Amino acid sequence: MRDQLKGMQTRLREIAAAFLERPDALCFIGWEMTPDEKETRPFFARKPRQVKRLVWNEMCHPNPASYLPGLRGSEGMIGVAVKGCDARALRELIRANQIERKNLFVLGIPCAGLVDPNTGAIASRCSECQYPVDLDYDETLGPMETPDLTVERSAPDLDAMSLQQRRAFWKQELDKCIRCDACRKICYGCYCPECIFEMSDPKWATNRGDLADKIFYHAVRAYHLAGRCVGCDECARACPMGVRLDLLNRSLRDHAKEMFSFDGAGITDEKPLLRTFSTEDPDPFFGGDK
Amino acid sequence: MSDFEPKILVFACNWCSYAGADMAGVSRYQMPPNCRVIRVMCSARVRPEQVISALTQGLDAVLVLGCHPGDCHYTEGNYITRRRGIMLKNLLETMGFEKSRFQVNWVSAAEGARFAQVVREFVEEIKALGPSHVSTEKDTGTHA
What's residue B142's pLDDT? Answer: 43
Q: Which chain B residues contact residue A209 at CB under 8 A?
A: 143
Smallest CA–CA distance, residue A233 to chain B, in Å, is: 17
Q: Name the residue of chain A whose CA is nearest to B104's CA.
A: A286
The reply to whether B82 touches chain A by the CB within 8 Å rule is: yes
Domains of chain B: 8-131 (3.40.50)
What's residue B137's pLDDT? Answer: 61
Cβ of B138 within 8 Å of Cβ of A212? The answer is yes
Cβ of A277 within 8 Å of Cβ of B80? The answer is yes
How far apart are the C-alpha atoms of A159 and A146, rounded to whole Å? Answer: 27
Quick check: A184 and A195 in contact, CB under 8 A? yes
Say what percent of chain A tops pLDDT 90: 55
**B 118-137 residues with CB below 8 A of A?**
118, 133-135, 137
How far apart are the C-alpha atoms of A31 and A39, rounded to whole Å? Answer: 10
In one-letter notation, the amino acid at residue A194 is E
Q: What's the average model confidence in pLDDT over A1-8?
A: 85
Looking at the partner chain, which of B87, B99, B139 has a beta carbon nearest the beta carbon of A255?
Answer: B87
Q: Which residues of B14-114 form beta strands (DSSP E)?
A: 35-40, 61-66, 102-106
Q: What residue spans define the domains of chain A?
A: 2-140, 158-275
Residue A184 has pLDDT above 90, yes or no: yes
Smallest CA–CA distance, residue B122 to chain A, in Å, is: 11
How far apart are the C-alpha atoms of B125 and A84, rounded to whole Å? Answer: 46
The reply to whether B74 touches chain A by the CB within 8 Å rule is: no
Interface A-B, measured as beta-carbon pairs within 8 A, has a size of 122
Is the sign of the CA dihedral A101, A246, A195, A26 positive or negative? Answer: negative
How far apart are the C-alpha atoms of A140 and A144, rounded to whole Å? Answer: 7
pLDDT per position as a tens digit, A76-130: 999 999 999 999 999 999 999 999 999 999 999 999 889 888 888 888 888 888 8
How far apart are the C-alpha atoms of A287 and B104, rounded to whole Å? Answer: 8
The reply to whether B80 touches chain A by the CB within 8 Å rule is: yes
ipTM more than 0.85? Answer: yes
What's residue A288's pLDDT? Answer: 41
pLDDT per position as a tens digit, A90-101: 999 999 999 999
What's residue B15's pLDDT? Answer: 94
Per-chain mean pLDDT for chain A: 89
Q: What's the average model confidence in pLDDT over A266-278?
A: 87
Residue B60 has pLDDT above 50, yes or no: yes
In DSSP terms, A32 is beta-bridged to A41
What's residue B143's pLDDT? Answer: 40
Looking at the partner chain, which of B48, B76, B118 has a beta carbon nearest the beta carbon of A287?
Answer: B118
What's residue A286's pLDDT? Answer: 58
Which positions ≥6 away from A289 have C-beta within 8 Å? B68, B106
Q: Name the residue of chain B whose CA is nearest to A222's CA.
A: B91
Q: Which chain B residues contact residue A282 at CB under 8 A?
A: 86
pLDDT band at B49 (very low <50, low <70, confident <90, very high): very high
What's residue A289's pLDDT? Answer: 41
pLDDT per position as a tens digit, A133-175: 888 899 999 888 888 887 777 778 888 889 999 999 999 999 9
Q: Name the residue of chain A whose CA is nearest to B122's CA.
A: A287
